[in-house]
Amino acid sequence: MSLSDRLRRAAYRLTGRDSSLEDERLLALFRNRIELKKELNALDEERHQLLDRLKLQEGATMRVEEQLGQLEQYLGRPDEGYKSIAYFQLRAVWRTASRRLQHFSAELARQQKDRERRQQLAKFERIQGQRIGEIDREINEARVLSDELQSEQRLDRKQLEGMRGFWNYFRRRRLVERINNRAARLDAVLTELAELGDRREEIDTEPPPLFEGMSVEGRRAVNLAVLGFAECLYDRLALKGLADLARQSTVKRVYETSYGEREACESLIRGATSAIAELEQMQEDLPEIKSRTDRLRRSVSYKAETDVTPAPESVPPIKSRNGRASANVLLDEYWDIYKSLLR
């Protein structure tokens, strides 16, 4: 485009003349170019993000492959076989205890939710019954008044029919006025009865409120019971000397552990196998759990009014059945306890 063409088009714009079709097309192309550039920049940014994620995934894959290679070399040694079996049996003990704890928490949460929902519905029905009772009393009072007014109306009308002669003119006039006033009162009472009936039906058909979830107190109660059950699991496994070993299997790799000679590993394997079977078949000792829950409730504290998990340092240690100090199952995160606690 020549300089003269540019000057001519600029003059057209200054004088208010319409731009040519070519100008409009160039403007549309310019706008499309801007939009395409934005989309290209967005795609380029997404590409860089995907490349970064790919590099991270490749690094994680390489680390896993290295660990698998180390594990294969380790398991290839015959003298390490029993220790490896003992290690993974201890991990199985941990997973079994964690699964039992999560199942206990889920069942307890379901029961607490049902209990609070029943309480909510009972409260709603109680208040609804009280409101209906108040309406019924008003309806009964209005009906009694209506019956009295209608009875008085019948008597006055009968009396009016019996009044003949001009000498009863003023008495008839006063009686008619009284009948008319009473009729107005009766209409008001009948209108009130109709409104009360509508209000009663409205209250009677009100839907119950939605359940918005467990209360803070309810979730705290469930979490304290979960802590109590976790302590029971710890004591049961600590008697067999497996609680701490199971925890170590979650923080150490197999080639970082040592359980002694072959005989010690075999004994540990038998104990872990027996413990897994006991955990899978055990019944919750509800009185023991309740006793521990009551003790925790008296001792724990919360960092905020809305918190439902106690401060870990406030959970008091207890004496286990063998007289040793029990671990703080919340502070040491036994049995993956935070997966079982309600939020």
Q: For residue 210, is it within any domain?
A: no
Q: What is the pLDDT of residues 104-128, one digit of tens each?
A: 999 999 999 999 999 999 999 999 9
Q: For residue 209, is it within any domain?
A: no
Using a pLDDT cut of 70, give the percent of the chain over it. 87
User: Confidence class of residue 182 from pLDDT cuts 50, 70 and 90?
Assistant: confident
User: Confidence class of residue 327 from pLDDT cuts 50, 70 and 90?
Assistant: confident
Q: Write the burial class of residue 223 (CB in 10 Å: 0-12 exposed, 13-18 middle, 19+ buried).
A: buried
Residue 104: name the closest of 289, 10, 229, 200 by CA. Answer: 229
Domain end (from 180, 204, 228): 204
Please tell me the predicted confidence (pLDDT) of residue 45.
85
Residue 28 has pLDDT above 80, yes or no: no
Alpha-carbon torsion (13, 19, 22, 23), positive or negative: positive
- Cα–Cα distance, 29 to 38 (Å, whole number): 14
Same-domain pairing of 96 and 240: yes
On average, the pLDDT of the chain sits at 85
Same-domain pairing of 233 and 302: yes
Q: For residue 283, is it within any domain?
A: yes
Domain end (from 169, 204, 239): 204
User: Confidence class of residue 156 from pLDDT cuts 50, 70 and 90?
Assistant: confident
The three-class DSSP label of residue 89 is helix
Report long-range pairs for 78-84 (Cβ below 8 Å, ≥24 apart): 80/255, 82/262, 82/265, 82/266, 82/269, 83/254, 83/257, 83/258, 83/259, 83/265, 84/254
Same-domain pairing of 95 and 114: yes
- Picking from 78-87, 248-257, 327-336, which range would have the lowest pLDDT averaged per residue? 78-87
Same-domain pairing of 219 and 111: yes
Same-domain pairing of 270 and 326: yes
User: Confidence class of residue 3 from pLDDT cuts 50, 70 and 90?
Assistant: very low
Please tell me the predicted confidence (pLDDT) of residue 39.
86
Please count the structural domains in the chain. 3
- Picking from 115-129, 294-308, 317-331, which range would have the lowest pLDDT averaged per residue? 317-331
Amino acid found at 264: A
Please tell me the predicted confidence (pLDDT) of residue 27.
73
In degrees, rounded to 5, the angle at the alpha carbon of residue 337 between the alpha carbons of residues 333 and 340 is 165
- Chain centroid offset of residue 76 CA: 48
Element (H, E) at 59: helix 21-75
Same-domain pairing of 103 and 224: yes
Q: Which residue has the higher pLDDT, 53 or 63?
A: 53
> DSSP assignment of 284-313, as one string?
P-HHHHHHHHHHHHHH---SSTT--S--GG
Q: For residue 274, is it within any domain?
A: yes
Same-domain pairing of 98 and 232: yes
Read off the pLDDT of each residue in 252-276 and give the average, rounded to a whole number. 87
Same-domain pairing of 251 and 335: yes
- Cα–Cα distance, 120 to 210 (Å, whole number): 9
Residue 43 has pLDDT above 80, yes or no: yes
User: Confidence class of residue 241 from pLDDT cuts 50, 70 and 90?
Assistant: confident
Please tell me the predicted confidence (pLDDT) of residue 96.
95
Read off the pLDDT of each residue in 117-142 and give the average, rounded to a whole number. 94
232, 243 contact by CB (below 8 A): no
- Cα–Cα distance, 97 to 88 (Å, whole number): 14
Q: For residue 55, is it within any domain?
A: yes
Residue count (the chain): 343
Same-domain pairing of 23 and 142: no
- Cα–Cα distance, 13 to 209 (Å, whole number): 66
Same-domain pairing of 182 and 311: no
Q: Could you tell me the residue range of the domain that residue 199 belongs to? A: 122-204
Same-domain pairing of 162 and 88: no
Q: For residue 254, is it within any domain?
A: yes
Considering 48-52, 133-137, 158-162, the range whose residues carry the highest mean pLDDT is 133-137
Q: For residue 112, is it within any domain?
A: yes
Q: What is the pLDDT of residues 207-219, one digit of tens each?
A: 999 998 899 999 9
Same-domain pairing of 222 and 100: yes
Q: For residue 187, is it within any domain?
A: yes
Q: Write the burial class of residue 176 (CB in 10 Å: 0-12 exposed, 13-18 middle, 19+ buried).
A: middle
Predicted TM-score (pTM) of this structure: 0.68
Residue 14 has pLDDT above 80, yes or no: no
Q: 81-161 and 262-281 are packed helices; what angle lies between their axes, rounded to 10 degrees? A: 10
Read off the pLDDT of each residue in 235-245 and give the average, rounded to a whole number. 89
